[in-house]
Chain A
C-alpha cells in the first residue's frame, strides 16, 4: 500500500481558477510534509513545506495540514498556464536518525486551460 496517497490523479482547471490537491498519509509517524512541482523534462522543485497544523501561504499557493487526520492539501489560486505540471506530496517521519528520507506520493497532474 502506498504510504503517501494523492488525489486526484489528474486535474484540469481554467486559467485564473483554483486548483485543489490532496494528500493523505497512512503512517502516523509521518509528521512533516512538502509539496514538490515537476515540469515536463525537469527535476522536481520544492514548492513549500508545512510542519504545523493550519494554513501556510506563499504567494498564490496555500498549504493546509491536519496532523490528527494526516491530511495535507495544496490550493493554487489564480492558476496560470505555467502551473501546469506534476505535483508531488512528500512526507518525512518525526524521528529521522539518518539522512532526510522522504516518501513521495505518485503525483497529481495539473493542467491549466487557457
Chain B
C-alpha cells in the first residue's frame, strides 16, 4: 500500500497572490495528476506528468503552472488567485499503463 500527502490542507489567499500546493506519493508511481473539484462540475484535469521532469497540460491549465521535481513529488502553482475563488485541488497518481488512480485528501482553497 501507499499514501498520497497533500499540503497544505487549507489555503487562504489574497486576490492576485501566487499560491503553491504540494503533493507527495510513496506508491512509486510514474504518473501524477492535479485536478480541480468545483461543486456541480466534477473533477477537471489541470496538469499531469508521466515521469520526472515531464509536464502535460490538461483541460484547465490556464492560470496554473506545475513542476515534477522528482518521481515522488508534484507541485501546482496558482499564478494569480482570483477573488472569491473557492475549490478543492486533488492530487492523484497511477502506475504507467495501470489505470486506477489513487487520490490524496485534497487542498481546500479560499481566496478573499
Which residues of the other chain, B, contact A104 by a CB distance below 8 angstroms? Answer: 35, 42-44
Which residues of the other chain, B, contact A102 by a CB distance below 8 angstroms? Answer: 45, 99, 101
B85 to chain A, nearest CB (A): 19
Look across to chain A and name the residue whose beta carbon is closest to the beta carbon of B90: A43
A101/B45 contact (C-beta < 8 A), A41-B105, A42-B105, A43-B105 known: yes
Q: Is A61's CB within 8 Å of the partner chain B?
A: no
Q: Is A45's CB within 8 Å of the partner chain B?
A: yes
Instruction: Give 1 or 0 for each of A22-56: 1 = CB within 8 Å of chain B CB.
Output: 00000000001010000001111110010000000
B65 to chain A, nearest CB (A): 18
- Contacting B99 at CB < 8 Å: which of A88, A92, A98, A105? A92
Q: How far is the CA of A80 from the CA of B105 in the complex (A)?
A: 23
Contact A49 B99 (CB under 8 A): yes
Which residues of the other chain, A, contact B98 by a CB distance below 8 angstroms? Answer: 100
Contact A43 B104 (CB under 8 A): yes
Chain B, interface size category, equals 20 to 34
Contact A45 B103 (CB under 8 A): yes
Contact B105 A106 (CB under 8 A): no
Instruction: Give 1 or 0 for each of A93-114: 1 = CB within 8 Å of chain B CB.
Output: 0000011111011110000000
Q: How far is the CA of A44 from the CA of B31 in the complex (A)?
A: 17
Contact A88 B42 (CB under 8 A): yes
Contact B42 A100 (CB under 8 A): no
- Contacting A32 at CB < 8 Å: which of B44, B58, B99, B106? B99
A43/B99 contact (C-beta < 8 A), A98-B50, A99-B31, A107-B42 known: no
What are the 7 A-B residue pairs with the smallest beta carbon separation, nearest first? A43-B103, A106-B42, A104-B43, A104-B42, A46-B100, A100-B99, A44-B103
A residues in contact (CB < 8 Å) with B? 2, 4, 32, 34, 41-46, 49, 88, 90, 92, 98-102, 104-107
Given contacts A43-B105, A46-B100, A100-B98, 7 further A-B contacts (CB under 8 A): A2-B42, A4-B42, A34-B99, A44-B43, A88-B42, A100-B94, A106-B42
